[in-house]
């Protein structure tokens, strides 16, 4: 589905962990709800009961280690459910869908950080997304050390959070390469500045797209 085939708007939020996606999405939800703009906040992996079960499995530690291909296929299994059951219906209903992570994470984490390469992911992208692409992708960018420092206070560490700095550096580099390759879709925002500054930049990137659904 191309961006003009549905009345809604599809916006994804990307970046390595700790850059502030969740924190800023909470702010955006409140901001747009106050303006009565119909938005749906969702996340990947997850977004449906079944996809949330896959998420739980993917983030947990297991005695048997998960092969990178298994991890990739499970990410796309959850995504297939999420797209059909949640994202497409919301877009068809004219909502703005704000998704915390989407396929760019698979390119950055499974493709680059785990080393599977982009080709396999592109095949699954075609199979599962059937042409659906984000209208806008906000990439929050910060050096790995700063982003990981922000998570120091968290008590629990999931399977991804226990990865090395080098893993997250490969993911960050891949994100920045994707943003250079697709400048019309990506908006890179420096996440090292104050939350207020980051939020103003997010609003100015998002607001023009929302004119489509409030008009
Ligand atoms: N994954 C994958 O491998 N492949 C895929 O295809 C998909 C996902 C879809 C999901 O984890 C994991 O799944 C993810 C990749 C993998 N793991 N990793 N890494 P998740 O959803 O649980 O984790 P996350 O997406 O990385 O979220 P996070 O760790 O919570 O990071 P965040 O949402 O970007 O950060 P935050 O929680 O909003 O902020 C962290 C702290 O920094 C917090 O205390 C904030 O108040 C503070 N903060 C944020 N911004 C600022 C600024 N600007 N100034 C000061 N302080 C700030």
**C-beta of 174 in contact with ligand 1 (< 6 A):** no
Which atom of ligand 1 is found nearest the CA of 163? 19
CA atoms within 13 A on the CB side of 178: 27
Residue with tokens 């996809």: 51
CB-based contacts of 3, cutoff 8 Å, min separation 6: 10, 133, 135
H helices within the chain, ranges in order? 21-34, 49-59, 68-82, 88-92, 103-105, 118-129, 144-149, 165-181, 195-214
**C-beta of 120 in contact with ligand 1 (< 6 A):** no
| Tokens encoding 18 | 């700790």
Q: Please report the pLDDT score of residue 162 as a whole number.
A: 85
pLDDT-based confidence at residue 156 (cuts at 50, 70, 90): low
Task: Determine which helix (DSSP H) or strand (DSSP E) holds 87, and give its type and residue range.
Answer: none
Q: Is residue 75 pLDDT above 90, yes or no?
A: yes
Question: 169-208: per-residue pLDDT in tens?
Answer: 999 999 999 999 999 999 999 999 999 999 999 999 999 9
Question: What spatial distance separates the first Cα and last Cα of the chain, rounded to whole Å?
Answer: 22
**C-beta of 13 in contact with ligand 1 (< 6 A):** no
**C-beta of 99 in contact with ligand 1 (< 6 A):** no
Specify the 3-state DSSP secondary structure of 190. Answer: strand
Reported pTM: 0.96
Q: Could you tell me the CA-to-CA distances from 188 to 12, 13, 110, 129, 201 in Å, in that order?
A: 12, 10, 21, 23, 10
Q: Is residue 161 pLDDT above 90, yes or no?
A: no
Q: Is residue 68 pLDDT above 70, yes or no?
A: yes
Q: Pocket of ligand 1, candidates 59, 101, 201: which has the most ligand atoms within 8 Å of its Cβ, to mutate? A: 101
Q: Work out the percent of the chain whose per-residue pLDDT is above 70.
A: 97
Least confident of 2-6, 33-37, 136-140: 2-6
Question: 53-62: per-residue pLDDT in tens?
Answer: 999 999 999 9
**C-beta of 198 in contact with ligand 1 (< 6 A):** yes
Give the dihedral sign, CA 170/118/11/74. negative
Q: Could you tell me the CA-to-CA distances from 152 to 66, 73, 177 in Å, in that order?
A: 25, 30, 28
Q: Could you tell me the CA-to-CA distances from 123 to 103, 140, 148, 163 in Å, in that order?
A: 12, 26, 31, 26
Q: Is residue 2 pLDDT above 80, yes or no?
A: no
Question: 100-147: per-residue pLDDT in tens?
Answer: 999 999 999 999 999 999 999 999 999 999 899 999 999 999 999 999
**C-beta of 159 in contact with ligand 1 (< 6 A):** no
């Amino acid at each position: 589905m191309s961006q003009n085939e549905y009345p809604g708007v599809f916006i994804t939020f990307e970046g390595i962990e700790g850059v502030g996606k969740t924190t800023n999405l909470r702010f955006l939800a409140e901001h747009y709800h106050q303006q009565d703009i119909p938005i749906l906040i969702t996340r990947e992996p997850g977004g449906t009961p079944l996809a949330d079960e896959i998420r739980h499995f993917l983030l947990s530690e297991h005695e048997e280690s998960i092969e990178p291909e298994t991890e990739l296929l499970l990410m796309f299994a959850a995504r297939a459910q999420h797209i059909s059951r949640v994202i497409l219906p919301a877009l068809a209903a004219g909502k703005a869908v704000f998704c915390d992570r989407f396929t760019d994470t698979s390119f950055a984490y499974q493709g680059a950080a785990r080393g599977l390469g982009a080709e396999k992911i592109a095949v699954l992208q075609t199979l599962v997304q059937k042409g659906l692409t984000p209208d806008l992708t906000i990439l929050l960018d910060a050096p790995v050390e700063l982003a990981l420092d922000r998570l120091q206070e968290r008590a629990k560490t999931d399977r991804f959070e226990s990865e090395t700095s080098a893993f997250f550096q490969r993911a960050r580099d891949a994100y920045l390469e994707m943003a250079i390759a697709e400048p019309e879709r990506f908006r890179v925002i420096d996440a090292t500045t104050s939350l207020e500054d980051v939020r103003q930049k997010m609003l100015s990137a998002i607001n023009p797209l929302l004119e489509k659904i409030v008009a």
